Structure formats: structure tokens, C-alpha cells
Amino acid sequence: MANARIPTTTLPSGAKIPTFGLGTWRMGENARKRADEVKALAHGLSLGVTLIDTAEMYGDGEAETIVADAVGSRRDEVFIVSKVLPSNSSKRGTIAACERSLKRLKTDRIDLYLLHWRGSPPLRETIEAFETLKDAGKILAWGVSNFDAGDMEELAETDGGTACATNQVLYNLTRRGIEFDLMPWCRARTMPIMAYSPIEQGRMLGHVALGEVARRRKATPAQVALAWLLRQDGVIVIPKATALAHVEEDIGALDVKLTADDLALLDKSFPPPKKATSLDML
């Protein structure tokens, strides 16, 4: 059952998507960690987190099998996001990649299927493949990842490109460049942003300002960083956690309410952009 504390946002199609989910980047890379990774995702599901983000690239497909094992018989409760590699993003390649992902995920459909980043195949071919898969019921919506504002303009001008549901990008307190141009572009089209690496793989957590706000709110620095994202309309946050305690900590961010003073301190310490910058990627 979905956690009532997790809000939803609306895709351009009108479909609802939770604004908090579980990421799986770097999962599936070490067989000795596999059981713990399955348990972490399953624990999140047991706590009502119903969005899981994965990709064919993660663990060379193994992350998708981990998702399948964690979800088990609860498929109808879960919103699954996966991604096609740019090297597979021709029309034929995208369809074949999706079929492989469906098999690894042990499902008949992917709720949201993304182009992982720009590749050499023309966007029109990828869009044609996405629409073919959508017509067949194998994906329910499609979007992109790691597209900057110029890429989004080009996508929108390509036949069928306005059906894009979301753009998944690197976004956190230390990586705010999208706020200058990409985020306004998406918001003008009621297109949610999916924020990956929301705590910068933990590198930001020793920052003095995060520690100060965490003390004020009786929270952890990670919870403050996640709460800063979650307070924004149209932002979907997908932290990765491979330990049960970290899953619970991340979910606790839903209860952290930041004040105007908190936000002012965070803005001073992590200034918003004053000009367009290149899109950050990991």
C-alpha cells in the first residue's frame, strides 16, 4: 500500500507519479551485495514507497533483476522507471532493449521509459520506438534523462517530441544549474523534473549549513538535503539506499519541514545560479 505521506505530481498526460522513490544506480555491480540490495528495495516497498528507478546500464542489467526480485508479486503497486542506453536508441535498438528490460524486470510493461542521455541515433527514431512501444502497451509513458534546455527545445521541435513526460537530471543543493533555464522550461510545460543523486553520493553531508539546519529540525543532513528538493512542486526525488537504516532515514525526510530561515541559510551556502551553465552529469 502506498505511503500516504508521499505526495504525487502529475505527468503531462495526466498520470500521477510519486514524488519520492528509490534509485538503483550502482546496484548489481557486486554479487556479494545483491541480497542486501534486494532487501533494501523490498523494505522501501513495505514502507509504502512505490516508485523505483532503474536502467539497463546499471549493473549491466543486473539492477533490473534486483528490482524484479524485490517487487515480486507486488508489481501492480509499483511505478517502475527504466532507461535505454544511447547506443541502443535507434528505432529497432530501442524496441529490442525494452524487450530485454521487460524480461529482466519480469513484467509486461514499464510505467516510464527514458532515453538515458543523447546518443548518435536521431531523436525521431527513438521517439518512433517509444510510441510503438506505447501503442503496444509495453511502456505507459516515455521521457528523457540528462537533456539540457537546448536538447529539450530540439526534442519539442521533433515530431512526437511534445509527448515527453519528464527529464531526469542531476539536481541537488550543490548542483543547482538547472534552475536558471532547464527547470523554468519544464515547469512552463508542466513537466516534472526527476532529481538523481539528491545527496551527491553523500559528499555534501558534512557541510556546516546542512548540519545547522539538521540540528534545528532534529533531522539528519541527508534528510534536510532531500526535504529541500521535496518541498518544490514538480520535483521527483530518487535517492539510492542499500541499507535498511538508510531507507528509513531517507523516508524520514518526508516529515522535515524547512522554514524560511532554513531556506535562506541554504541559499546563502549553496547559491542559486546567476547564468546559464553546462548541464551537470555523473
Q: Which residues are catalytic?
A: 58
Query: From CA 49, how far away is CA 3, in angstroms rounded?
Result: 6
Buried b / exposed e along 123-156 (16+ C-beta atoms within 10 A) = bebbbbbbbebbeeebbbbbbbbbbbbebbeebe
237 membership: H or E segment, kind and range: strand 235-237
* Number of Cβ within a 10 Å radius of residue 185: 17
SS3 11: coil
Beta strands in 130-215 (DSSP E): 142-145, 167-170, 193-196
- Among 250, 243, 151, which Cα is nearest to 195's? 250
* Full DSSP string of 25-66: TTTTS-GGGHHHHHHHHHHHHHTT--EEE--TTGGGGHHHHH
* 243, 44 Cβ separation under 8 angstroms: no
- How many degrees, rounded to 5, is the angle at CA 18 between CA 16 and CA 21? 150
